[in-house]
């Protein structure tokens, strides 16, 4: 279900278009009559995510890297809007390899942003991150109050916000940062050392394995279903500047979340409830508790008041509704 505020009849560049969020954005935007250009180097994206688009007359795949300025220029040429989703995600990965995380998330970001400015794109909408809030203790998180970042990944995503605001101030390019809060849903990769918690748990449970919860399971997150994120991106692109921007600099940052906290124990219970209707044996599974993970914040909860007020954002899927949809997708596609 997609919000009435939809983007149509435009040419759109999606960086990281073969990734989880990028491929879902691609599907929605093609369905709405847009032309979509995908730029991806398949470092973390998957070809299977875009197989269904390759023969679409309005879809173009460019295999390239945002760290290569020529690739950025080629991809953005003739595009009205940029949805910059390309990044090297994961807090643990950034702790192990901060150099590559910085190279991709900051160096690649600046190249893509400058290319978009040079190509005179109407607006540059980019994936920011809730990790930017760092050690700030307040809940819910509001856009104007951030703390010290707790990982190299968080630093890179905050640096992107600073660059975007600076470029908007200097060059006048319109930019919007969307601070995603724990996005989940169809096509999210369950495999690999840095898999997100929801697809990882689902795959383990479908294989009758006990999921490992970091810590006591009371750490909580504002889990956000993918269709809410699709809605927010489109609104960030089409909302008129006079309504969107609150200062002379055409840059804003918004939380994108549902606005509800779910701890890991509750998450397991909801997943088990959904999956047990498909496989009764899953009802017998118990969790295993391991150590807390370095760089993790204990709790995350977003205020979405600003996005509601300036974008008209109204998330259509609750956590429980989104988890039901996601479990059904994984059961059908990844068993």
CATH number of the domain at 25, please: 3.40.50.720
Q: What angle do CA 237, 189, 131 make, to 5 degrees?
A: 55
Query: Are 18 and 42 in contact, with CB atoms under 8 Å apart?
Result: yes
Q: Which pLDDT score, from 0 to 100, does residue 6 have? A: 87
At residue 190, the pLDDT reads: 87
Domain membership of residue 247 (yes or no) is yes
Q: How far apart are CA 162 and CA 269, in angstroms?
A: 39
- For residue 283, is it within any domain? no
Cβ contacts of 286 within 8 Å, gap of 6 or more:
210
Residue 206 lies in a domain: no
- What percent of the chain stands above pLDDT 90? 87
User: What is the per-residue pLDDT for 21?
Assistant: 96
pLDDT tens column, 218-264:
999 999 999 999 999 999 999 999 999 999 999 999 999 999 999 99
Could you tell me if 140 and 306 are in contact, meaning their C-beta atoms sit under 8 angstroms apart?
no
H helix or E strand, kind and range, residue 175:
strand 175-180
Q: 251-275: per-residue pLDDT in tens?
A: 999 999 999 999 999 999 999 999 9
Q: What is the pLDDT of residue 220?
A: 92
pLDDT at residue 3 above 50?
A: no
Q: Does 194 qualify as catalytic in the annotation? A: no
Contacts of residue 120, defined as CB under 8 A and 6 or more positions apart, other chains included, come to none
Q: Is residue 114 scored above 80 in pLDDT?
A: yes
* pLDDT number for residue 2: 43
Which DSSP string corresponds to 85-121? ------HHHHHH-HHHHHIIIIIIHHHHHHHHHHTT-
Q: Tell me which long-range contacts 143-148 makes (C-beta under 8 A, separation of at least 24).
A: 143/179, 143/253, 143/254, 143/255, 143/303, 143/306
Is residue 269 included in any domain, yes or no? no
- pTM of the complete model: 0.94
Q: Tell me if residue 125 falls in helix, strand or coil.
A: strand
Q: Which domain holds residue 27?
A: 11-186+224-260+302-316
Whole-angstrom CA distances from 135 to 67, 146, 148, 197, 222 are 30, 8, 6, 21, 16
Answer yes or no: is 139 within a domain.
yes
Sign of CA pseudo-dihedral 159, 160, 161, 167 = positive
Q: Tell me what pLDDT residue 1 has.
A: 41
pLDDT at 20: 95
pLDDT on residue 91: 86
Residue 118 has pLDDT above 60, yes or no: yes
In angstroms, what CA-CA distances link 39 with 78, 82, 179, 245? 14, 11, 21, 28
Q: Are strands 220-221 and 262-263 parallel, antiparallel or unpaired?
A: antiparallel
In a domain, 207, yes or no: no
Interval 108-124 mean pLDDT = 98
DSSP 8-state symbol, 141: B
Q: Which of 59, 126, 153, 219 is catalytic?
A: 153
- Residue 265 belongs to some domain of the structure: no
Cis omega (within 30 of 0) on the bond before 260?
A: no
User: Are residues 115 and 39 in contact, defined by beta-carbon separation less than 8 angstroms?
Assistant: no
Domain assignment of residue 229, yes or no: yes
Angle in degrees, CA 154, 182, 178, rounded to 5: 65
**Number of alpha carbons in the 13 Å side-chain half-sphere of residue 91:** 17
Q: What is the chain's mean pLDDT, rounded?
A: 94
Q: How many domains does the chain have?
A: 1
């Amino acid at each position: 279900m997609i919000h009435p505020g939809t983007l149509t009849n435009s040419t759109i560049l999606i960086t990281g278009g073969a990734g989880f969020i990028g491929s879902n954005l691609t599907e929605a935007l093609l369905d709405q009559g847009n032309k979509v250009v995908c730029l991806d180097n398949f470092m973390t994206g998957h070809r299977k995510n875009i197989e269904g688009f390759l023969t679409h007359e309005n879809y173009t795949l460019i295999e390239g890297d945002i760290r290569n300025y020529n690739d950025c220029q080629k991809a953005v040429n003739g595009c009205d809007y940029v949805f910059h989703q390309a990044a090297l995600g994961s807090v643990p990965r950034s702790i192990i390899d901060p150099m590559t995380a910085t190279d991709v998330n900051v160096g690649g970001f600046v190249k893509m942003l400058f290319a978009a400015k040079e190509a005179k794109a109407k607006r540059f909408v980019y994936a920011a991150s809730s990790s930017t809030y760092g050690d700030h203790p307040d809940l819910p998180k509001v856009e104007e109050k951030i703390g010290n970042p707790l990982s190299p990944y968080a630093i890179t995503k905050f640096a992107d916000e600073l660059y975007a605001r600076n470029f908007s101030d200097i060059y006048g390019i319109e930019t919007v940062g969307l601070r995603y809060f724990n996005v989940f849903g169809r096509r999210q990769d369950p495999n690999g050392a840095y898999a997100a918690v929801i697809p990882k748990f689902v795959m383990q449970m479908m294989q009758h394995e006990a999921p490992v919860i970091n810590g006591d399971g009371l750490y909580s997150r504002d889990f956000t279903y993918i269709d809410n994120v699709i809605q927010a991106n489109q609104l960030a692109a089409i909302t008129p500047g006079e309504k969107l921007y609150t200062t002379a600099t055409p840059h804003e940052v918004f939380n994108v979340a549902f606005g509800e906290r779910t701890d890991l124990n509750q998450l397991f219970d909801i997943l088990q409830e959904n999956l047990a209707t498909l496989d009764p044996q899953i009802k017998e599974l118990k969790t295993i508790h391991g150590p807390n993970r370095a760089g993790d914040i204990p709790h995350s909860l977003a205020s979405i008041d600003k996005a509601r007020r300036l974008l008209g954002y109204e998330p259509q899927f609750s956590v429980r509704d989104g988890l039901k949809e996601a479990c059904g997708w994984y059961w059908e596609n990844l068993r």
